[in-house]
A and B are shown apart, each in its own frame.
Chain A
């Protein structure tokens, strides 16, 4: 069955370290998204991609970067982790069919703690 996976599911790191969170989907979806979830804010969009080699900034992109070298993966990198980036991170993907609503499917989430 097609799915979307995230790894690791839990990560503890130290301030200043580089961290990469993986997102992999097997639906062959063109669109992929990264959200972070914080108490009182719901989920907020970090970065998104419409296809290979395409990346765009979302609402809270500072301190994060993504790259899209293939259809299946959109890794999220924290260049220099900060305590403010302690959060739960969700990856999502969707198709891009014209004339139809393209549902977003969410991964299970990664809980990141920055000490």
Chain B
């Protein structure tokens, strides 16, 4: 069975602070995919990043960066110089690698509510 744990239920920071959202996953698969989604107050799910299990390189996209470590089964997300617009619920998710290429159901963590105060 797959499992994703986001132990931080809520985080509050002041604007311009850096913040790291933790994600720990469990899977028996050797090939899998990891994701981060953002859910702003408007409610839609916004895709941020996908990572496959063979690519452990850290990724940076503007103020966002992701640290994938298979040794600790973690896929942490850091926002540098946070802004009020970053306030949202952030979900980490895990997907199996289905041999047919289809039906990769997502297993989500419980989410972290990030509040960035002005």
Chains A and B belong together in one complex: yes
Which residues does A use to contact B, with CB under 8 Å?
A: 30-31, 33, 35, 40-45, 48, 50, 58, 88, 90, 92, 94-104, 106, 108-109
Is the beta-carbon distance between B102 and A102 smaller than 8 angstroms? Answer: yes
Count of chain A to chain B residue pairs whose CB atoms are closer than 8 Å in the complex: 66
Neighbouring A residues of B25 by C-beta, 8 Å: none
| Closest partner residue, chain A, to B106 (CB atom) | A104
B64 within 8 Å of A (CB atoms): no
Q: Is there an interface contact between B43 and A43, defined as CB atoms closer than 8 Å? A: no
A101-B110 contact in complex given A106-B45, A108-B43, A109-B43, C-beta closer than 8 Å: no
Complex Cα spacing A99 to B97, Å: 10
Report which of B103, B109, B111 forms a contact with A48, defined as CB distance below 8 A.
B103
Partner of A43, one of B9, B102, B106: B106
Pair A94/B91 contact, Cβ less than 8 Å = no
B interface, CB within 8 angstroms of A: 4, 6, 9, 33, 43-45, 47, 50, 52, 91, 93, 100-111
Most buried by A among B43, B93, B105: B105
Sampled A-B contacts (30; CB under 8 Å): A35-B106, A40-B110, A41-B110, A42-B4, A42-B6, A42-B109, A43-B91, A45-B106, A45-B107, A48-B103, A48-B105, A50-B103, A90-B45, A92-B106, A95-B102, A96-B100, A96-B101, A97-B102, A98-B100, A98-B101, A98-B102, A99-B101, A100-B101, A101-B101, A102-B101, A103-B47, A103-B50, A104-B104, A104-B106, A106-B44
Docked pose: A106 CA to B101 CA in angstroms: 18
Across the A-B interface, give the 10 residue pairs with the lowest CB-CB distance, nearest first: A96-B102, A42-B108, A98-B101, A43-B108, A106-B45, A42-B110, A42-B111, A42-B109, A97-B101, A109-B43
Q: Given A31-B102, A42-B110, A101–B50 Cβ distance below 8 Å?
A: yes
A61, chain B: closest CB distance, angstroms: 12
Contact call B102/A58, Cβ cutoff below 8 A: no
Q: Identify the closest chain B residue to A58 (Cβ).
A: B105
Q: Which of these, A41, A90, A96, A100, contacts B103 with CB under 8 Å?
A: A96
